[in-house]
Amino acid sequence: MEHESVPLYWRNIPSYYRLAARRCRKCGEVYYPPVVKCPRCGSSELEDFQLPHEGELVEFTVLRSVPTDYMKQKPLVIGLVKLGPVKVLGQIVDAAPEKLKAGQRMEVVFRRVVVDGKYGLVMYGYKFRPRP
């Protein structure tokens, strides 16, 4: 599978690693992934906004046919988690899908997301798991 290039991954590190979002200074809307221009009001004055590292599971799905990068992690559980003002899509780990329930508390964890073969870069980022 085609991986994200090293420079692009590097530029995205603040948002991948610690969920750094952007908030529009004019209308207050928060964006994750971050944007450079507010799609709602058109302003390009945006500031950093740190998403909380705990939230609520909105919904989730279980993928049994997965992209090649995730072949060894089947089934892949993908969920939408409400973190403060936004809903963030991400992988759910450390939990059997049959035990997940919409509305439950989730925490953000730091994990390996894509490993570029035996010699390439290990790309890290956020995932979710039920809060113990």
Partner 1 sequence: MKAGIVSWGAYIPKYRIRTEDIAATWGDDPARIVDIYLVYEKSVEGYDEDAVTIATEAARRALRRGAVDPKRIGAVYSGTESKPYAVKPISSILIDALGLANNVFAVDMEFACKAASDGIVAIAGLVESGRVEYGLAVGTDTSQGEPGEHLDYSASSGGVAYVIGRDGVAAEFETIYTYNSDTPDFWRREGSPYPMHGEGFTGEPAYFRHVVGAAKGLMERHGYKVSDFAYAVFHQPNGRFPMRAASMLGFPPDKVKPGIVVTHIGNTYNASALMGLARVLEQAKPGDKILLVTFGSGAGSNAFVLNVTDAVLERQKADVPKVDEMIADKIYIDYAMYLKNRKMVKLFE
Q: Which residues bind partner 1 (CB under 8 A)?
A: 13-14, 17-18, 53, 72-73, 93-94, 109-113, 115, 117-118, 122, 124, 127, 132
Distances (CA, A) of 20 to 86, 88, 115: 12, 12, 22
Show the binding pattern over residues 34-73: x = contacts Zn ion (CB under 5 A), - = does not: ----x-xx-x------------------------------
Pick what 93 binds: Zn ion, partner 1, none; C-beta below 5 to 8 Å, kind-dependent.
partner 1
30-42 CB burial, b ≥16 within 10 A, e <16:
bbbebeeebeeee
Pick what 40 binds: Zn ion, partner 1, none; C-beta below 5 to 8 Å, kind-dependent.
Zn ion
Structural contact between residues 81 and 56, judged by C-beta atoms closer than 8 angstroms = yes
Pick what 5 binds: partner 1, Zn ion, none; C-beta below 5 to 8 Å, kind-dependent.
none
Structural contact between residues 97 and 62, judged by C-beta atoms closer than 8 angstroms = yes
Would you say 6 or 41 has its CB closer to Zn ion? Answer: 41
SS3 20: strand
